[in-house]
Amino acid sequence: MENPSLSFYGLGIAPKILEILANLKFQIPTPIQHKAIPLAIEGKDIIGIAQTGTGKTMAFAIPMIQHLAQTKSRGLIIVPTRELAVQVQESMSKIVQGFGIRSVVLIGGESMHTQIQALKRSPRIIIATPGRLLDFLRQKQLHLKDIDVLVLDEADRMLDMGFAPDIEQIIKMVPAQRQTLFFSATMPPEIMKMASRYMKLPVNVEIAPHGTSAEHVTHEVFIVHKDMKRTLLGKLLKQFRGSILLFCRTKMGARKIARQLRDWGHNSAEIHSDRSLAQRRQALEGFKTGRFRILVATDIASRGIDVKGIELVINYDLPDQAENYVHRIGRTGRAGLAGHAISIVTPEQRNDIGNIERLIKIVLPISQHPEIPQMEFEKPQRVFSAQSFRSRGGRRPFGRRRR
């Protein structure tokens, strides 16, 4: 099943680069790539925070190369160590193939002479450690006047290593008309300080580190017409054999769905405020022992449900509050076991999904059922400008993200 949200398509990447990515067998963008690439291609300044090993290099390399392919400008990538400089160059060389864009690595411990020779071939990507780069600048072997994309990779590490004064000196030599991208595993306050000084309304793109509640949970969203929700549910229930916790928004809804499940022949029980305490306890007990495979619940009634080993949480309705999504999925994937959460949503619920994604810092992948017509989210009514995003407290609405 081709799932567009799980591929590099739709992020604004040029066809030629998509082809290269396919050849490299890069099929699914990592979360930081999924979030940062479209924004970087739009030309936004970005602070990208994600753990080591999550693909941050491509998150800036792809947009930078795409930009350089369209202009005559140059890009500068500042990294803390020589090893990393070489590694970044290797990664980028895979993508620049066929674009005729040369890169140079300026690092200490190597002869300056060789690097000067390389600079004479007018490389358009400069990857450098701060100290050696400053040497070149001071000796006027290099200027930064035509740099219009600036990347600070592993920004936190550079600050730890005491490079802040060097970096500030370098940044001041890069034209103000530029795109600035900071990538880092953590977000110390000094990075924010530097960002506020040297970036234009940066967008924060932060991917939740491991150890959050959602660690062992995979997510899926189906967008369908309201009238198809039940049909889809019926098909999903046939696919999953394990225990299922199914959430409805109202007790009315829970009652109706529970009746439907029984009609379909599923062993199921329900807990909501119309049930007595004894009935609820019975339902829960039966769910735990396996007598009922499916438990239908409302948010209020489900508080404190502590059942281990639930394979699947189905959000037949999204919760009224994004926070409740976290509580709901907390019931699956417990104690290191893998869990799965499926949300069935209608086209007008884009904002609700956006709120949840912002809260859990995960992009919820959209799936398609082969037998159910897929819908798309309705276009947002209003597009927020970067300015209004700022005045709303620094959190960027998700409305503009491409799907």
Q: For residue 272, give both structure tokens.
A: 């909501």
CB-facing half-sphere around the CA of 177: CA atoms within 13 A: 4
26 touches, from Mg ion, ligand ADP, none (C-beta below 5 to 8 Å by class): ligand ADP
Count of residues in the chain: 403
**Taking CB positions, which residue lies at the least distance from Mg ion?**
56
Cα 52 from chain centroid? 14
Please tell me the distance from the alpha carbon of residue 240 to that of residue 65, in angstroms, as a whole number: 43
Residues 378/353, Cβ–Cβ less than 8 Å: no
Nearer of residues 28 and 322 to ligand ADP, judged by Cβ: 28
Q: Enumerate residues 6+ apart whose C-beta is below 8 A from 309.
A: 243, 334, 337
Instruction: Please state the closest distance from residue 54 (CB atom) to ligand ADP, in A.
Output: 4
**Binding ligand ADP by CB under 6 A: which of 5, 57, 115, 332?**
57
Enumerate binding residues for Mg ion (CB under 5 A): 56
Which residues ranging from 260 to 299 are in contact with ligand ADP (CB under 6 A)? none
Closest CA to 22 of 2, 38, 42, 39: 2
Nearer of residues 49 and 199 to ligand ADP, judged by Cβ: 49
Q: Taking CB under 6 A as the rule, which mask of x and - marks residues 2-41 in contact with ligand ADP?
A: ------------------------x-xxx--x--------
Q: Is 55 in the site for ligand ADP (CB under 6 A)?
A: yes
Number of residues that bind ligand ADP (CB under 6 A): 13
**Binding ligand ADP by CB under 6 A: which of 15, 53, 189, 265?**
53
Which helix (H) or strand (E) element contains residue 19?
A: helix 15-23
Nearer of residues 56 and 328 to Mg ion, judged by Cβ: 56
Question: Is beta strand 268-271 parallel, antiparallel or unpaired with respect to 294-297?
Answer: parallel
Please tell me the distance from the alpha carbon of residue 137 to that of residue 158, in angstroms, as a whole number: 19
Instruction: Please state the closest distance from residue 163 (CB atom) to Mg ion, in A.
Output: 16
Instruction: Please state the closest distance from residue 14 (CB atom) to ligand ADP, in A.
Output: 17
In the complex, the residues that contact ligand ADP under the rule CB under 6 A are 26, 28-30, 33, 50, 52-58
